[in-house]
Amino acid sequence: MAMMLDQGQWQHVDGGVTAARGFRAAGIHCGIKADRKDLALIVSDTLASAAGMFTTNLVKAAPVVLSQERIQSGAAQAIVVNSGNANACTGAQGWADAQEMAALTAQALGVAEEFVLVASTGVIGVPLSMPALRAGIPRLPEALSRDGAAAAEAILTTDAFPKTSAVRFRLDGTTVTIGGMAKGAGMIHPNMATTLAFLTTDAALPAPLLRRALRQAVDRSFNAISVDGDTSTNDTVFLLANGQAGGAPMVEEDDALARFTEALTVVTTDLARMVVRDGEGATKLITVMVRGAQTPADARRVMSAVMTSPLVKTALYGGEPNWGRILAAAGRAGAALVPERVEIWIAGVPVVRGGQGLPGALPRAAEAMAQAEYELLLDLRLGSGEATGWTCDLNESYVKINAGYMT
C-alpha cells in the first residue's frame, strides 16, 4: 500500500489531476464543439504555489501571453481550459476574450482573478465563441468533483484517448501525491513546454523550487518527444502545489527536492509517451536512444534529428529497417560524428557496426519491427553523452487528418 512506501519509492495510483489532496476538476460541453466536452476546470481548495512553461514559438495565443504574465506571481488557484478553439492570432478581441474567461471563472468560484490561469487548444485564427463560454463557465463549479476523468476528456482535440497519470510516495515522513493530465496528438514537437499538460501535487514547495523541478521534469519528458516537428502556438504546462499533504515546505538544500523531481518526471514521462502513442495516425511508439556522443547536447541533437526525420518515420511505418536513413539523419544533426565508429540497433537487432551494415541483419530487424513498441539505439562511440526521446511513425492517416482539419 502507498502508506508503506519507503523514502524515494513511488506507486502509480488512480485519479490523474485530482489524485492529490485538495484538488477538484470538472469537464462539460458548452457548445464550442458540436457534441463533445470542450470546457474544463481545475481548482485547488487553497491558494497554491504555481509554475509554468510555455511555447517558444514567437506566435503565441492570447491565453499563453495572459498566463505567462499571471504566473510570475508564483501563485494560482484555478485553471480554466477550452478545447476546439486555440484563441490564437485573434488580435485584440482574442486578448479580451482570454481575460474574460479568467474573469468569469474567478466570479463563478469566488476567487481573485489574478489567481486564475487560462489555456486553450484547437483551430488557430478563429474567434472564440464567447456566448458558449459565458453560458458554460458559470456551470463549472457545480460539476467539480474528485474525479478528473471528465476534465481530461474535455481538453482533447484530435486525441484518440484521454491521458492521465498519478504517483504517490513518501517524502520525509509525509505521503505525497503528484497527478496530471495532458492532451496532444498532432503539432507535437515541444520546446521548453508541451502541448497542454496540467500537473498538481499536495506537496509543499515554494514557487522557485517548483519552477526548478518542473523545468527538469519537462526537459526529460515533454521536451524529448516529437510527432511531426511542429511547435504549437498554445503549448502550456502548469504545475500547482497546495501543500495539503502536510509536512514542512522543501528547501533548496534538502534532497527531498531531488526525490520530488524524480517522481514528477515519472508522471510527465507517462503523459509524454501517451502523447506520442496517440500521434495522429500513429501505429508505433519508438524510443530513440543515443549514447557515446561527445556531449549530452550532441546526443540530443542526434536524437532530435532521427526522431523528426520524415524518411525515418515513414520507414518505421512500413516496417523497413532502412538504417541508411537513420545514419544520414544523425550525420546532419550538427553533432560530432565519425561514420566509421557508429553502431545502430533496430528493435534490439544490431544492423550497423563501424558505419556499415551487418550481413543478414535486415530480415531479423524487419521481423522485430512488427512490434507496436521498440527502440532505435545509436552508439556514436565518441564519448559519454546520452539522450533518450520518443517518436512515432508517419503515414497517410496523418496527412488525411491534417489536410481537412478546418473543413
* DSSP codes, 116-169: EEEEEEEETT----HHHHHHHGGGHHHH-BS--HHHHHHT-SS-SS-EEEEEEE
Q: In the chain, what is the greatest distance between 2 CA atoms, to the nearest angstrom?
A: 70
For residue 385, CA distances in Å to 292, 374, 379 come to 6, 22, 10
Average of per-residue pLDDT across 282-298: 96
Q: What is the pLDDT of residue 398?
A: 81
3-state secondary structure of 67: helix
More confident residue, 192 or 323: 323
Whether 194 has a pLDDT exceeding 80, the answer reads no
Whether 7 has a pLDDT exceeding 60, the answer reads no
User: Which domains, from first to last, does the chain contain?
Assistant: 2-277 (3.60.70.12), 285-403 (3.10.20.340)
The yes-or-no answer on residue 268 being catalytic is no
Whether 4 has a pLDDT exceeding 80, the answer reads no
Average of per-residue pLDDT across 243-269: 91
pLDDT band at 406 (very low <50, low <70, confident <90, very high): low
The model's pLDDT over 343-396, given as tens digits with 9 standing for 90+, comes to 999 999 999 999 999 999 999 999 999 999 999 999 999 999 999 999 999 888
DSSP 73: G
Query: Which listed residue (18, 177, 194, 233) is catalytic?
Result: 194
More confident residue, 213 or 189: 213
Whether 192 has a pLDDT exceeding 70, the answer reads no
Q: Which of 89-103, 214-228, 393-407 has the highest mean pLDDT?
A: 89-103
pLDDT band at 405 (very low <50, low <70, confident <90, very high): low
Pairing type for strands 196-201 and 236-241 reads parallel
Residues 6+ apart with CB under 8 A from 403: none
DSSP 220: T
> Considering the entire predicted model, what is its pTM?
0.92
pLDDT band at 147 (very low <50, low <70, confident <90, very high): very high
What is the gyration radius of the CA atoms in the chain, in angstroms? 22
The model's pLDDT over 108-120, given as tens digits with 9 standing for 90+, comes to 999 999 999 999 9
